[in-house]
Structure 1
Amino acid sequence: MSSEWPLKELEFIANEVTVGYVGSMASEYVEDGVPFLRSLNIEPFRVNANEIKYVTPEFHKQIKKSALRPGDVAIVRTGKPGTCAVIPDWLPDANCSDLVIVRCGEQIRPRFLCYWVNSVAAHHISSHIVGAVQQHFNVGAAKKMKVAVPDISTQDAVVEVLGSIDDRITLLRETNATLEAIAQALFKSWFVDFDPVRAKAEGSQPEGAIQGCMSAAEGRMPKAAMDATTAALFPDSFEESELGLVPKGWRIGTVDDLCAQITNGGTPSRSRKDFWEGGSTPWFKTGEFCDGFLLEPSERITDEGVVGSSVKLLPENAILMAIYAAPTVGRLGILTEPSAFNQACTGMVAKGSVGPWFLYLTLYFGRDWFNSRANGAAQQNISKAIVAGYSVVIPDDNVLKSFNENAELLFAKIRAGTVQAQTLTQLRDTLLPRLMSGQLRLPEAESLMEKAL
């Protein structure tokens, strides 16, 4: 660590160090209300809005000690102790459990503290984790954590360098979220709500325009009528089916009918070093699924591991779905290269006429159904057979072709944004410890950042 930066214990540079709510929460959650963060919502440098819970304003007031506000620094106590993020402006009022809450004083910037905790403070945190069954990081240990405290101008300069990278990563993620929402909206309109068919049945011109969706992908969201060629692909009436009214001429099938291959994964023997050491084949676990493209696995296996075990190798754009441990059940991943995966997932390769994006979004919109079928005493799971047997409405090939041509443009942009975000994340994670330890000076870091951005 740089000798130029003095060390001070956190309790002496923070206005307050406290802890999130400790107690049972199962009966307190409601559909809408005050956001309630748990440890799974805190990732390094960011708050993940997925699976945020909510509590009533009344309960929020009862536990005001654990209230959060923008600028607070949240540190995970259990799960992944020490993971740290700054509460953003889009959470003006929130509450939490399983978190250490730090309100910074005049000597320390919240984002600088966040960078410190996520990098240099790892040793202090790991050496102060307690608990035999569930390990956690105590608020008392957090107060004693030593933090480098350079002058505010230096902190601001460090935050500017690293923050520029984080801001770019955030922008890429937000753009991807917009593109994903467009793809989901188009799928829902065509294949869940059957909007084009309903419009034609009423004698109206279908909207939802592919052109409108694609313009939205460029940053605009205009209303536009569907072009005549696309509109002509849809029927103008419905017929009865086992799933209710469906567009005339479309058929009822299953996920199995959409797939050229559907299989569960496996895990090579951990006792066989030749299955793991020096491996080059990606091997994914369900904890890495984030409803998007899978880029870099936490583990890889060797060719011997592929041949000598029950793993299956699936190609680029195959879809993986978690089938163990509700509510993880239904979480999805898209392969970006030939890869293997563990037995907690079902892997699917779409038929050429169906395409990966129709399959992916079919599974995405079926998530509630899959979770409703999860069963088991200790762990709520589903099976490959349940996945394969999920009933779906299958449009004719021309409608599928039109959808996939446009979905491909959206998902190509999403993939490119995901790759860029990962590249920038790797740059930040490379610069961070070197910058904080004094191995890298600010001018050098700024030069590296400018080249990357």
Structure 2
Amino acid sequence: MSSNYKKLGDYIRPLNERNRDLQVKTLLGVSIQKILMPSIANTVGTNMKTYKVIKKNQFAYGPVTSRNGDKISIALLQEFDEAIISQAYTVFEVIDISKLHPEYLMMWFRRPEFDRYARFKSHGSARETFDWDEMCEVELPIPSIEKQQEIVNEYNTVTNRIKLNEQLNQKLEETAQALYKHWFVDFEFPNEEGKPYKSSGGEMVFNEELDKEIPVGWEFSYLGNYSTIKGGKRMPSGSKLIKEQTDSVYIKVADLGTSKYVQLDNTFEYVPSEVAPKISRYITHKDDVVISIVGTIGVVKIVGESLNGANLTENCMKITKLKRITSSYLYHYLVSKEGKEEIKIRNVGAVQAKLPMYNLESFPIVIPKAEIINEFENKVISIDKVLNERNIESKTLTKLQSVLLSKMSKVKERTPKEVNNEI
């Protein structure tokens, strides 16, 4: 053990408080993104008295690691004062927060080196687990609490800026979506005099397929008539994605993110060079609209410039070569209330839902006049510009987060001489 490294077991203790009185209602789960999030588990008929209670600044982790790929599910509760989690998780806390800062420890758990260590130390024949004894054997540098707080503050400054960008981008996307609804659902786009079309007496015509009126001169058709829809491709049998950068990046559903545009960052994986020719036909291009079709269905994004030529997972389809409509118009339609409802009713499959290609090709779509589409595009371009600028900044900040985490292994105290020099 390095001189400044300490065994974690001397600083943490396990907890096993149960929800016996059913007073705690908030049910959370631990994700591989290392956050506690609302659980999607079906709890009908479940005895919630056996669930474990976790409180603010306490940790939970899933000991079973064989199902998580390269990551271990572990998180620190900060958003709630208390919650309940499955009995499958191990709950623990820092014994003395004046010696070990919980957020400093969570930073250590976020390091990819910790994930590799936990996977290496996991054991078991039927399923591999990283048990409590192994957790206690984890070694990490534990400087003074003042130094820990300094490191946490630096990391949180970057993290909070990323969160702020996400919040601002969400507001911008809501603005663009509200504009879409006003123009193409309420039909209140500006007429030739700049007034709201429908409420100003704009001429409407009844459309039998939609069972509602649409503006005169607009058309109704199906998505397949105005685009080309193609599926992605799974990796060939026996092949695996790699973290090492090649000429072929691979887009998975998990990579689609939360913003309108999906852009390349350091979380993406790559197709090995010798495998790439086998799936070279299944690639995306800038401004293609991508939609997830298996499992989590209906995640819709536009392919950004940085992913032009990227390979696409078989769990998505791309909508490309658009005619008479733009990527932004189609995106906002698919994520609208009306679009989501259409996606939902077109899912098939009892065991695992799926959105088939023919059901996407037959998606009903209204085709506005070209000048209205173009005017809408001009308005959202300015919004998209700010969105992309903030996304680029956030990706830079995410890289800085990784640098800060990697520096933790080299943490050391300032010497008295260094402190005196600062004074």
| TM-score after normalising by structure 2 | 0.76
Shift of 1:383: 1.7
Partner SS, residue 143 of structure 2: coil
Partner SS, residue 158 of structure 2: helix
1:37 matched to 2:28: yes
1:332 matched to 2:300: yes
Residue of structure 2 in register with 1:112 after alignment: 104
Residue of structure 2 in register with 1:438 after alignment: 410
Shift of 1:158: 1.2
1:281 to 225, 248, 262: 248
Partner SS, residue 354 of structure 1: coil
Cα-Cα RMSD: 3.9
CA distance in 1, matches of 2:298, 2:161: 30
1:256 matched to 2:224: yes
> Per-residue CA shift, 1:25-55, capped at 9, x if unaligned?
xxxxxxxx95432233x524x55x6x75499
Structure 1 residues 140 and 409: CA distance shift in structure 2, 3 A: farther
CA distance in 1, matches of 2:225, 2:7: 63
> Per-residue CA shift, 1:149-173, capped at 9, x if unaligned?
3221111111122222212222222
Aligned residue type for 2:316: C
1:13 matched to 2:25: no
2:92 to 86, 93, 102: 102
1:346 matched to 2:340: no
Is residue 226–residue 322 contact of structure 2 (8 Å, CA) maintained in 1? yes
1:71 matched to 2:64: no
CA distance in 2, matches of 1:440, 1:149: 9
Structure 1 residues 277 and 429: CA distance shift in structure 2, 3 A: closer
Shift of 1:179: 2.0
CA distance in 1, matches of 2:192, 2:39: 39
1:290 matched to 2:257: yes
CA distance in 1, matches of 2:239, 2:5: 47
CA distance in 1, matches of 2:303, 2:110: 29
Gaps (5+ residues) in structure 1? 22-32, 198-205, 207-225, 444-453
More helix by share: 1
- Matched pairs, number: 389
> Per-residue CA shift, 1:177-236, capped at 9, x if unaligned?
2222222333234334x1628xxxxxxxx9xxxxxxxxxxxxxxxxxxx99526349835
Is residue 83–residue 118 contact of structure 1 (8 Å, CA) maintained in 2? no
Shift of 1:418: 2.0
Structure 1 residues 151 and 253: CA distance shift in structure 2, 3 A: same
> Per-residue CA shift, 1:347-371, capped at 9, x if unaligned?
1125264111111122223345434
CA distance in 2, matches of 1:423, 1:173: 14
Aligned residue type for 2:194: T
2:284 to 283, 291, 314: 314
Residue of structure 2 in register with 1:447 after alignment: none
Residue of structure 2 in register with 1:364 after alignment: 335
Is residue 292–residue 298 contact of structure 2 (8 Å, CA) maintained in 1? yes
CA distance in 1, matches of 2:153, 2:192: 47
Residue of structure 2 in register with 1:26 after alignment: none
Shift of 1:284: 1.5
Is residue 58–residue 91 contact of structure 2 (8 Å, CA) maintained in 1? yes
Identity %: 18
Shift of 1:137: 3.9
CA distance in 2, matches of 1:442, 1:396: 68
Is residue 187–residue 198 contact of structure 2 (8 Å, CA) maintained in 1? no
Is residue 258–residue 359 contact of structure 1 (8 Å, CA) maintained in 2? no
Aligned residue type for 1:295: L
Is residue 59–residue 75 contact of structure 2 (8 Å, CA) maintained in 1? yes
| TM-score after normalising by structure 1 | 0.72
Is residue 224–residue 362 contact of structure 2 (8 Å, CA) maintained in 1? yes
